[in-house]
Structure 1
Amino acid sequence: MTGAQHDPGYCLFVAQRMLELLPQLRVEVDCIRAGGDIECVHRMRVASRRLRAVLPLFEGCGRRREVARWRREVRAITRALGDARDADVQLAFLASWASGLPGVGTGGGIPSAAPLLSGTRLGASAGTDSPPDQAPAVPTGRLAGFRAWLRRRRLALARDPAPVPTPGSAPGRLDENVPAPQGIECLLLRLEQRRAALQPAVLEALDRLEASGTLEEMAVGLRTLEIRARREGASPRSGPVYAAAHLNGALRCDELRVYAPALPDPARAPEHHAMRIAAKRLRYTVEIFAPLFDDGLRQELKALKRLQDALGELHDCDVWIEQLPRFLEEERERVVAYFGNEGFLRFIEPGIRRFHADRVEERSRLHAAALEIWKELEADRFAERLEERLARARDEAGQPTEKLRRIAEGTETARIALFSDVHGNLPALDAVARDAAARGAQAFINAGDTVGWGGDPGGVVRRLVALGSVDVLGEWDRRVVRASRKQAGASPKEAARIAASMNPAGLAHLASLPGERRFTLRGTRFLVVHRLSSAEGGEITDDVVAGLATSSGADVLITGHTHRPFVRSAGSFLLVNPGSVGEAGPGEGGATMAEYALLQVSPLDISLLRVPYDDPGASPRIEATGNGG
């Protein structure tokens, strides 16, 4: 995900979302240690996943190394819980599926499945309680019964080593008197053994998490940030928050659509799994930003849960279909090692084959159901409508941005950084942002050509979203958007290269930009456009400035495109070009420079500024591309 940097309101919002999730992690630790409820693992795993989804958003708000360490610790607990939860789900499903089969728990001397987390230790009596910090054991009854049954069959099987088919092959020679549940009981036993073996790793991960103090450290750091942001008067509903909601939501919507063409083909299971993950990521993203909306995006979340559940059930079938032949092969190796031949497998194979066939049949039904759900969402333009809603909220919050609104409502002297023609040059933009912040800039206005020849157009878009800047569409921005849509007018070819290097969310942000913006600050009317058609191809004469003073309907007109900084006036009217951030001419000694302007409000004043920055590749690029928009 992409976050914002240095905006107190944004950081306050993310901190609050993380603080809501931390208690959900803590409360499940003791429950997992007690080992009495498998849902504890599920709840903690989900909470850790949600925290992992929001943590990347916090990167611009906390110390980088600290946030990186938090992410590592949370990722470790998610992974440790993941295998255990998957085993729990398989055990619960298989026990439920087999409960209706005749002979389960009674046939062949194999007892019924006992709960995995019963507290009975392997080799202990049924009434012995396991210490809560030890791994849950495989029920003694099942293992003892299974071994007794093996002993009874061993001599007969040694004399009659019948060949055994694998799932999906010809039936071969099978003993019709052996009930199918024998194989299911064997599979349950192996799953229970695997789950018991996983529990020490789960407890070890919990020990590491508690010993690291990460959760406590996160809570203290987030509370401190929350207090500081509130003292600064920050709002968790600031413009950058809504901009980040749209940026990340658009990215996740596009990720979901990438895999949709594969869904009609039942054979493309890997893409179906990837689509499930994409649906889950989109759902978590929507959950993060849902508090920004009065209805909590309930309908959108309901639709996503329905899709995710359908794709999840489909994936569960795929896992069984893949695992069962492998399980049978592993049992074959065990049988041969124990008996010296494969004959015993005919007592296990029928149940496994029956379950495998059931999963294959069920997958066909689940695939049709998932496809139908997706078709309904497509017909309803679900992803497009979600993006449109997020974009509307972003635009409403950004007209003007929260920072400009504060300036408009204030009375003290305020400063705004004006810039243009970044052209994808992130080091130059960072230098301008730092210098402007040091000079007291409270807001940022960008007059277009955000992308261009620079090497990181996507990074520039994310940085502008982070700054909460008021942007307009420039010539290069328009070309790149057209190239991404394969429309006419996208030349030169460089536009296609830039479009290919950007993610869908960044392109969506560019496409959403207007050609001009108007707003009023303390009685002064502002107009922001990228280029002046009235001055096209010629010098900006006094007559041109005077004409703009009467025709623009603005007191201050901010423009770019020419890469030539200037401030011109006609009476009280001001025409400002802050120059180019990304392609300014070199400074003394050939130093790479970035240009911008600092606007002071109350009283009105404008300063043109140049700042150096470190980017060895910038000067050759500027010389090669020229100094024009």
Structure 2
Amino acid sequence: MKCEHKPAQDPSFSRYAAETMLPLLLSLKQELTGVRTADDIEYVHRTRVATRRLRACLTIFSPSLPHEKIKNWRRTIRDITRSLGEARDLDVQIDFISTFISRHIRDECQEELFFYSDHELGHHPLFSTKQVEGKGNNDEPGSDPLLFCTRSFDINRPGLECLLQRLKARRQHIQPDLVKAADRLELTAVPESMISYLHELKIRAEIEGGTVNSQFSYEQAFVSIMTAISNLFWFEPWLNEPDNIHQHHEMRIAAKRLRYILEAFSGLYECGLKTEIKTFKSLQDVLGDMHDCDVWVEKIPAFILDEKKRAYRYFGNPDFFSIIEHGLSRLLENRKNRRVELFNELHVLWDKIREEGFWDQLMEKVSHPARFSFIEDGVQDNDRPVTIALISDIHANLPALEAVLADAKQKGATAVLNAGDSIGYGAFPDEVISYLRSSYVLSVIGNYDLAVLSKKWKTGRPRSHDKQAAMRFAFQNLSKENRTYLAGLSREFRLRVRGTNILVTHGSPDQIDEYLDRGTPESRLREIAEKARADIIITGHSHLPSIRQVDDVLFVNCGSVGRTEDGDPRACYALLTLDPLSVVHVRVSYDISRAITAMQNRHLPGSFTRMISEGRSHDDISGHGDPA
């Protein structure tokens, strides 16, 4: 089977990327006008949302974007997001305090509440001239005391009004900075550069005949969505810790990113993923309200301390401070109580989402196109069993990979899942990664892949010179594009096919270099099965094929495509069939002499040629341990 590489920039995916990003850029330019005028707080909000969606798109659509420009584009868009951060926070806080006052504070006497600045105090009967002379000098906007005078008013209101005025003063003070940030963005010409490039990209894709719903587009959607889901579930244990505000905040960010990714790829799906986007919006809102409460709980005591110091500085006594303390204390207590309520609401919402089968339905939707990634033109027959090829540990052995994929295709496989360690030891690291990409193989990253990318041969002191040479060769013979692709792979991904939940990871779900094979204690497999939320767990790493079942969970170790270690030098992979379920390992002969000749021509250690020709581990060949 001859290696024929498809173009890196899939025309259909490029067209979809352009059509998704162009409206966001045009919206950003329009909203910046409103940011300058500050007529409506929603301008800042919509601008930040547009920049965040663009940043998500720059990541998920990177295969179609110019690598030399992405870094600058991302940095520029990120800078505008950050420059609007404080303004948006203040807008939200001002709106909340205004609403809180109107809903929770009642002025029974309906009397007017007056504010007095320091220069008016000498003329007011409540404060003497001596008190005024004790004031300090602070140029910060809104730093002067705000004094109140009325015969009868709610004791909570002055403190809240004081806080509201401070927030408004600060917001007014930073408005010129927002104008400068908008001007800086225009001077960079980044939005115009992006718009120009995307227009050209769209036209070029249309000329090349790209349609929106290409298999590559669905593959990218699947990988991005499943990675984001995995990141969100990482925070699930902290739902049992009500005081762990940092992890709850990070979970909010993960939910937001997942929602942006769903929105970006929604056009690929007939349903538009509307239900899923709405669900994540609800989850994000609850987590966002919790975060707002956490901010208030941290902010109010600091504000109380500042106002107390300010009162002493101006008057030399705490009398004035006692006027505003009540309302601030009430607000603090309110936010603490609301935080508890929201945490309980989060539990109810999370449990409801799970009980309604939301995750299974979402995975089924995004996994469906990925099931047919390996057949020509995506021809689908939903009445036939689904057959998926399971591969792992290719270790840069291109002849073995070509033979395995050809055999899997001949046997009816419609998709290929790769459990990692695609490079290292063999002579074809770049060719293997390109071939996996052009064949639409869905891959996770392995521990050896990570070691190569992190240049572990420089810092980790490998146990042998052979391993050091293998890592260095793999890194130096990977193109920059393929390094970026490999580094972007997740440590695991999940699919749901024909009602079956499938988890793919290199080692174990807990540890990337843990062996799961026929030697793993059943107690350990049971421990993994209990928390994995999967019906089938697919792994590699050990280079030893195995199939084991524990508590209705099937553990499948794929063996190794390019570097077997059980004495059989033929390439090994597994065929998984669903509906009905079956798993079988397959041995495939390949042109080993071609792999050996390439190793020799590229001056790789002789022990490597013995490993693949004899089907033995590096440990057996050289007497050194080999954790890869």
Instruction: Give the TM bin, normalised by the shorter chain.
Output: 0.5 to 0.7
State whether structure 2 residue 30 is matched by structure 1 residue 27. Answer: yes
2:72 is aligned to: 69
Q: Point out where structure 2 has 5 or more consecutive residues left out of the alignment.
A: 1-6, 135-150, 381-400, 405-417, 454-481, 490-503, 546-557, 571-585, 609-617
- Matched-pair contact (CA < 8 Å) for 1:249–1:285: yes
- Matched-pair contact (CA < 8 Å) for 1:110–1:146: no
Alpha-carbon distance change, 429 to 264 in structure 1, aligned in 2, over 3 angstroms: same
- Matched-pair contact (CA < 8 Å) for 1:84–1:198: yes
Matches for 1:365-514 after TM superposition, within 5 Å:
365-396=341-372, 398-400=373-375, 402=377, 418=402, 423-425=421-423, 431-432=430-431, 443-444=438-439, 451=446, 453-455=448-450, 462-463=485-486, 480=507, 488-489=516-517
- Matched-pair contact (CA < 8 Å) for 2:159–2:328: yes
State whether structure 2 residue 225 is matched by structure 1 residue 249. Answer: yes
2:114 counterpart (89, 110, 113): 110
Q: Deviations over 1:197-236 (max 9, x none)?
A: 2212211110011111111100111111111122222233
Distance 1:621 1:73 in 2: 53
The Cα of 1:193 is off from its aligned counterpart by: 1.2
Distance 2:66 2:445 in 1: 28
- Matched-pair contact (CA < 8 Å) for 2:421–2:445: yes
The Cα of 1:382 is off from its aligned counterpart by: 2.5
Alpha-carbon distance change, 351 to 395 in structure 1, aligned in 2, over 3 angstroms: same
Distance 1:151 1:306 in 2: 53
Distance 1:621 1:49 in 2: 52
The Cα of 1:14 is off from its aligned counterpart by: 1.9
State whether structure 2 residue 287 is matched by structure 1 residue 307. Answer: no
The Cα of 1:346 is off from its aligned counterpart by: 0.4
Alpha-carbon distance change, 151 to 384 in structure 1, aligned in 2, over 3 angstroms: farther
**227-236 or 21-30, which moves further after superposition?**
227-236
Distance 1:86 1:529 in 2: 53
1:9 counterpart (9, 12, 18): 12
- Matched-pair contact (CA < 8 Å) for 1:256–1:279: yes
1:231 is aligned to: 207
Alpha-carbon distance change, 203 to 449 in structure 1, aligned in 2, over 3 angstroms: closer
1:207 counterpart (164, 167, 183): 183
State whether structure 2 residue 74 is matched by structure 1 residue 80. Answer: no
Distance 1:391 1:210 in 2: 41
The Cα of 1:399 is off from its aligned counterpart by: 4.2
- Matched-pair contact (CA < 8 Å) for 1:279–1:304: yes
Distance 1:509 1:429 in 2: 28
TM-score (norm 2): 0.63
3-state DSSP of counterpart to 2:209: coil
- Matched-pair contact (CA < 8 Å) for 2:111–2:152: no
- Matched-pair contact (CA < 8 Å) for 2:106–2:154: no
1:46 is aligned to: 49
State whether structure 2 residue 324 is matched by structure 1 residue 324. Answer: no
State whether structure 2 residue 262 is matched by structure 1 residue 286. Answer: yes
The Cα of 1:273 is off from its aligned counterpart by: 1.5
Alpha-carbon distance change, 42 to 232 in structure 1, aligned in 2, over 3 angstroms: same
Distance 2:444 2:225 in 1: 24
Paired amino acid for 1:102: R
- Matched-pair contact (CA < 8 Å) for 2:219–2:442: no
Distance 1:509 1:401 in 2: 27
Paired amino acid for 1:91: I
- Matched-pair contact (CA < 8 Å) for 1:8–1:234: yes
2:387 is aligned to: none
Alpha-carbon distance change, 454 to 79 in structure 1, aligned in 2, over 3 angstroms: closer
Distance 1:561 1:93 in 2: 66
Paired amino acid for 1:432: E
The Cα of 1:430 is off from its aligned counterpart by: 5.5
The Cα of 1:622 is off from its aligned counterpart by: 10
- Matched-pair contact (CA < 8 Å) for 1:157–1:344: no
Paired amino acid for 1:155: S
- Matched-pair contact (CA < 8 Å) for 2:508–2:539: yes
User: What is the CA RMSD across the aligned residues, in angstroms?
Assistant: 4.9
Q: Which has the larger radius of gyration?
A: 1
Alpha-carbon distance change, 585 to 375 in structure 1, aligned in 2, over 3 angstroms: same
- Matched-pair contact (CA < 8 Å) for 1:423–1:451: yes
Q: Deviations over 1:274-317 (max 9, x none)?
A: 22111111111111111111010111111111111111112111
- Matched-pair contact (CA < 8 Å) for 1:563–1:579: no
Paired amino acid for 1:87: L
Distance 1:562 1:461 in 2: 32
Paired amino acid for 1:110: F
1:553 is aligned to: none
3-state DSSP of counterpart to 2:439: strand
2:272 is aligned to: 296
1:610 is aligned to: none
- Matched-pair contact (CA < 8 Å) for 2:213–2:268: yes
1:267 counterpart (243, 247, 250): 243
State whether structure 2 residue 224 is matched by structure 1 residue 220. Answer: no
- Matched-pair contact (CA < 8 Å) for 2:427–2:598: no
1:550 is aligned to: none
Tell me how many residue pairs correspond in the alignment.
Answer: 473
2:62 is aligned to: 59
Percent identity (aligned): 28
**102-111 or 240-249, which moves further after superposition?**
102-111
